[in-house]
Every structure is written in C-alpha cells, then in structure tokens.
A and B are shown apart, each in its own frame.
Chain A
Amino acid sequence: MTMRAPSSDLPLMLEEVSILAGEHHILREISLVLAAGAPTILVGPNGSGKSTLIRAAMGLIAPTRGRVTFGGREGVPPARRAIVFQRPVMLRRSAAGNLHYALGVAGVPRRARKARTDELLALVGLSGRGDRPARKMSGGEQQRLALARALAKDPDILFLDEPTASLDPAATKAMEEIISGIAARGIKVVMATHDLGEARRLAGEIVLMHRGRIVEIAGAKTFFTQPKTEDARRFIAGELLV
C-alpha cells in the first residue's frame, strides 16, 4: 500500500458550480456532496453534463462559477483522486510498465513497485499479462488496466466515466465485479453511465442529470421505486429526455 497523506479529499463538495463554453452552459449551478460510502452513479442522456461534472470534481476543469472543495480545501492536486476515462489512453509501455509508471508518480518506493504491480494486475484479472504491450490489449483489458493504474495512487475517490460503454456483456460483467470489489474496499466510487441496468446493479446513490443540471438525487432504491420528478419517471420508463 502507498503512504497515505494525513488528510482526505472527502467529502468532495461542488458548490453552485457552473461551467460555460462561451455562452453555453455545460453545467448549471451544480451542488453535490460526495462522501465516503456506497457508489454514486451519475445517470442521464448523452450531453447531460455527466462527464464534465466528473472532470470538474476530479479537478481537471476549473468551474466558471462556484467552487469545488476536497476535504474542505480548494485547489488540491489529484494525489488522492483517480479517474478512468471512457477511452483511456495507455502509455506506450507494457501493461506492467503502465502500472510501474503510475506507482512511481504516486511516490511508491521502487523496491515495492513490483509486488504492488502484481497485486494490481491480479485485482483486475490481468495476472500473467504484465509483459504485454498495453496498447495492443483488447478494449476490455485496457479498461481494466486503466482501472488498475488509477488505483495505483491508492485514491480516496475513484471517478469512472462510462467505463463499460464500449464493452461486450462479458467484459462489462467483469468490470462491474471489479468496481463492486473496489467500492467494498472503502474507496468512494463515482461513476457515469447511461445504462440504467448498470446503475441498478452498482448504485448506492443515483444522481440524474439533464441539460447540465441535477434533476434528482436519491438512494438507488428510492430513485427507481419512488422517483420524485417527472424527468426521473420518464427516464426510468425508458423515454427519451431531450
């Protein structure tokens, strides 16, 4: 395990966060608290702002208005936050080389990296494939490797931006099992998806987004059985939110 900094990035709070591209609102007055606990799943149609919210919460995009705080602090570098992008970019190295690199950046001593690399590869079901060139692995394998790489920094919070969007059912199942395992280890998982089935399987809390706003936040069970808003009811019923 890596050395943990004394303070945590949790709770991660977005306060009245708006992000504009020119005159166009991508996020509009988002307030959200991400605290330790069960996974938070962001759902909503394409273009609803899920990915932008994740990037803002990760600290990769600065809000146009409002603020993001990490454990009560602003402008904290992402040493304790990790993300897996929808289409992760593998470094031009072997699978193990990608993990070695991330462990090095995270400050893991050189002598401990080999054991930790093996541990991470095992965690995502890639044991014995460390020598393979990362960019020549299948899409599902690259997603799992990206997940392992994100975990190299031993994060408090892990953002997943539609990690199963381009995977087949078997690869999706494997990925979801790994994500559940990660959440069970106490890492806060925040995941964007537009697959309601996946949201049902993984969520502790659901955040429905539409047109850059949060429409509804509720526990998963409540969200699916007693949605409060018309948008949520329509979304759950499979109607198109446009």
Chain B
Amino acid sequence: MPTDASALDLVLRADPALMAIVQLSLVVSLSAVAVAALIGIPLGALIALSRFRGRNGAIVLLNALMGLPPVVVGLLVYLALSRSGPLGSWGILFTPQAMIVAQTILVLPIIAALARQTIEDLWAEYRDELAALNVGPLERILTLIVDARFSLVTALLAGFGRAAAEVGAVIIVGGNIDGFTRTMTTAIALETSKGDLPLAIGLGIILISLVIVVNALAWGARRASERYAA
C-alpha cells in the first residue's frame, strides 16, 4: 500500500489493499454481530420471560458485561485459543475466526441485555393478550422477538458499533497480520504509530462512513417496515 498517497486519494482510488482491510473488518464485525444476535436475542427473551432464583443478579451481570474491556476479552480468548489453552486444538489463533470469537464475546452482552429490556417491556404489554389467546411458551418468545423486531435493530446496531470500533481484542487474537488479520481499527493504530497519517485518516474516514451507512440503512429499513406493521 503506498504510504505517500493522500487519504482522499486512497479512498477515491479504492486502493486494493485498503479495500481488503475494509472487507475483512466488515466480515469480522458483521459475523460477530450475526452470531451474537443468534445467541443473544433468544437469551435476552428467555431472561425477560423467566422467573428464577438469582434473576436480578443475572440481569445486573448481563448489563455489567456490556462494559467488558476489549483487551481483557482479547487476553482471555488468546489464552483459550493458544496452543496450550483449552481450545488450542482449534488452531484458529491469529486468524479472522479468532477475531470473530473475541468480538462475539464483546457484542453478545450488549445484544442480550438490550434485547432483554426490549422484550420485557413488550411482554408487559402483551402478557394478558397472549395468555388469553392460549399461546404456548416457545411461541410467546417467537412472537415477542418478531414483534420487537424494529427495536431489536437498535440492539444490533449498538452491537455493530461496538464491534466496528473495537481494536484491543482483535489486535491481541488476530495479531494485525498484513493482508490476513489487519482490520481498519488495527491498521489505523499501526499506521498512526508509524507516522503514516494519510492512510490512518483514510481508514478513519471509511470506518466512520461505514458506520453511518449501516445505521442509515437500518433506520430506513425500520421506517419502511413500520409504515406497514407498526
């Protein structure tokens, strides 16, 4: 990647190396959000509808985990995936898969906690109607997830924001290997430390633009859908 080019040049020329970094960043962050959503939304719904001993403690813990320090998660995932670690046999340390694992752990509490709150609020509204309609427990959860879909988009966006902006965990478990595990955030950190500010700024512009575009798309989709089903 040329280091003397201006930030704008790199962006406008769609520099291949730059685009590879952008692509990897999106793949890692969106995969992490997808996996975290598949686990976190049902988990949030389950906690929202369940009454069990220690539930309040579980909610406090879940909310607290939203603030997990990325470097700590990176360290723990590193230890788990390193050759002598319990998951060392997977052989995925310093690969994009390891970065997805780390980001999933970071994003999961955000999606689960926001989904829990959203679904619990909707449950308070729907409880009597669903009971009167004789809706079974599993179908209740599915109904609440479907009907809370617009609000849950916000949870997914919050998760994506966390993943896209994160650098501490992916740099530890990915290793910031050029052309393989280098993402926008790790590249910005590296290029800034090397003094290649144009590239760092170019990546920064793309990163911010992508976050805005993803949010705008989600907002537009939500508005369009609400018009028909709110």
Binding site for B on A (CB under 8 A): 58, 60, 77-79, 82-83, 85, 88-89, 91-94, 97, 101-102, 105-106, 133, 135-136, 149-150, 153
Inter-chain CA distance A208–B195, complex, in Å, is 85
Q: Could you say which of B70-78, B122-130, B174-182 contacts chain A?
A: B122-130
Chain A to chain B: the 6 pairs with minimum beta-carbon distance, closest first = A92-B147, A83-B132, A89-B129, A78-B134, A105-B133, A79-B134
B contact residues, total (Cβ < 8 Å): 17
Query: A91 contacts which of B131, B139, B147, B150 (Cβ < 8 Å)?
Result: B147
Q: Are B147 and A88 in contact (CB under 8 A)?
A: no
Query: B128 contacts which of A60, A92, A133, A150 (Cβ < 8 Å)?
Result: A60
Shortest A239–chain B CB gap in Å is 33
Enumerate 10 A-B pairs (CB-CB under 8 Å) in ascending A order. Answer: A60-B128, A78-B131, A78-B133, A89-B125, A94-B228, A97-B229, A102-B133, A133-B228, A133-B230, A149-B133
Query: A89 contacts which of B126, B135, B230 (Cβ < 8 Å)?
Result: B126
Tell me, yes or no, whether B143 is within 8 Å of chain A by CB: yes
Q: Are B229 and A89 in contact (CB under 8 A)?
A: no
Binding site for A on B (CB under 8 A): 125-126, 128-129, 131-135, 139, 143, 147, 150, 227-230
Q: Which B residues are CB-close (under 8 A) to A85?
A: 128-129, 132
Inter-chain CA distance A92–B129, complex, in Å, is 13
Q: Which A residues are CB-close (under 8 A) to B129?
A: 85, 88-89, 91
Q: Are B133 and A92 in contact (CB under 8 A)?
A: no
Q: Which B residues are CB-close (under 8 A) to A83?
A: 132
